[in-house]
Structure 1
């Protein structure tokens, strides 16, 4: 089996941030505009995620369309898990942030204990892929909880929040390039931070002007980003620009 995830290129981060934004706006659209409620939305999107992951696990290599569909759906599910805990069950954001941070840490610990690596360049077994997708789910849930906590406590507004999280990602990138911050650690920190960055961008575009947004609405914002994702994924499917080389065992 070939490496099941793409190379970490500029395309990877573009689609990841776009998918994160869709995770925020699509969840709001399904929950509010279609009146499906958090529970109904979670069940439907959760089923779609399971189906997409079945296809992802059954393929023997990285297929852009299948892989990124799973990422978009897991971004929505990660958002909904946190929203269900906070809105339906009344769990404080401080608590959910700690819970998902611990869950992610335990996932990484079990992954490393089993495989002796957390590198995404070696996802060529079913077990490693299982650890990978579980970690991805917790990064989205943690990013949602931590991002909402920061927004609620600091009351920065959508645009300022986006700049702040973008700056943090840039600092991580510079630390990796300038002082040789471990590549695996830098990747996962940046991956977590893209969740609140994408959510802030999505809220800035979709929320009403009176609430600090541009007033595009969740329908327009979700459609805009989904079409962009489709365009980039189609390009990658044809060019293979992000196809990983055979993994070294």
Structure 2
């Protein structure tokens, strides 16, 4: 989602230090959620294509690792967007209230996952899974078009399950192999695909605004970032 030339990765030294840290926080959240979503999307496609891959990969651990990493990073981005300086200058389409409303369900499922011990009674009563449940659609052949609707419900089952597929009611367009990725936790549900698209639209707007602002103040000198160092230790 962020190119090497993105203003989120090239913040001029003249930018206020507090604003620079907010932008850097958003950058990291976007990079994490992008990585998690891309890997999750690919894994779900492979599971839909060959269910035997589940056993070979040790179950559904990687799917839920990336799902909840995505949820956590999206919610972190939402909060940073809401608390950044100069929020009064945001247009209505990208206002704090508008973005918070679009990402509200992400916040709700995250609260269930973060307080699962306190939500056990609710989870048991709903015959739900501690890890949550994931539904999605994957595309295969183009002509004729082949589509699979899938559900993952991990963990123990207390009662009989009534598994329902998330079937599309309208035309679907996706640049990914899988789409309409939905996670449920307790009584809440969040569409990860819609959340990804929401963040992507915010990032596109923010990058355009930042590029114009940075051009005015100059981009000759930027804050240094992304350090790595190492030391080889002597052994005996």
Q: Which TM-score applies when normalising by structure 1?
A: 0.29
Give the structure with the larger strand fraction: 2
Give the structure with the larger helix fraction: 1
Greater length-normalized contact order (CA 8 Å, ≥ 6 residues apart): 1
